């Protein structure tokens, strides 16, 4: 049984969020992120997708202890594909390309993430042994190919009033 790709497109999604930290932070140590729960809906001429950007934030609290806070950020987007018709099968792959963050105050963290989503329309359900090839420079963390790790840039010391 052969799987044929009807069409393929790639789009970038910008996810911006401000996270309220549960305890004041002196600095952000690192942020680990991955994309979860990708799903799609096909309408004439478009594929609409949704997912969850899961982030694990590691930061130094006022007691100089590294603590962790997890956050799930829903995102969505669409890509125009002329051949898209309801009833087709879509296959999604997402790669986190960029994360930037800034500690706005001891309890407020601003994050910007760019996610690249590859959308394939197929003429039948993919078989279990059909693989999606991804770029060789994709970030891998603890064996998870969809992970991305961002660390704080040490450029200056900031004090909050």
Looking at residue 9, its pLDDT comes to 92
Q: How far is CA 96 from CA 35, 72, 76, 124, in A?
A: 8, 15, 14, 28
For residue 73, give the 3-state DSSP assignment.
strand
User: Taking the mean position of all CA atoms in its chain, how far away is CA 115?
Assistant: 5
The candidate with the shortest Cα–Cα distance to 150, out of 102, 118, 94, 117, is 102
In the predicted model, what is the mean pLDDT of residues 81-92? 88
Q: Which of 153, 155, 151 is nearest to 33 (CA)?
A: 151
pLDDT over 90 percentage in the chain: 59
The residue to which tokens 């004439």 are assigned? 44
* Mean per-residue pLDDT, 16-23: 93
What's the pTM value of the predicted model, to 2 decimals?
0.73
* Helix (H) or strand (E) segment spanning residue 52: strand 46-61
**Residue ranges per structural domain of the chain:** 5-151
Contacts of 137 (CB under 8 A, 6+ apart): none
Which sign does the torsion angle of CA 14, 51, 145, 90 carry?
negative
Which pLDDT score, from 0 to 100, does residue 150 have? 52
């Amino acid at each position: 049984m052969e799987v044929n790709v009807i069409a393929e497109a790639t789009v970038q999604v910008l996810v911006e969020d401000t996270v309220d930290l549960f305890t004041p932070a002196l600095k952000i140590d690192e942020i680990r992120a991955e994309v979860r729960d990708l799903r799609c809906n096909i309408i004439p001429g478009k594929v609409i997708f949704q997912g969850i950007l899961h982030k694990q934030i590691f930061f130094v609290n006022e007691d100089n202890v590294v603590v962790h806070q997890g956050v799930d950020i829903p995102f969505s987007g669409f890509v125009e594909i002329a051949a898209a018709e309801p009833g087709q099968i879509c296959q999604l792959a997402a790669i986190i390309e960029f994360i930037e963050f800034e500690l706005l105050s001891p309890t407020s963290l601003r994050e910007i993430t760019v996610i690249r989503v590859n959308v394939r329309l197929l003429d039948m359900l993919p078989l279990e042994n059909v693989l999606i090839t991804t770029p060789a420079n994709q970030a891998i963390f603890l064996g998870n190919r969809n992970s991305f790790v961002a660390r704080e840039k040490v450029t200056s010391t900031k004090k909050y009033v």
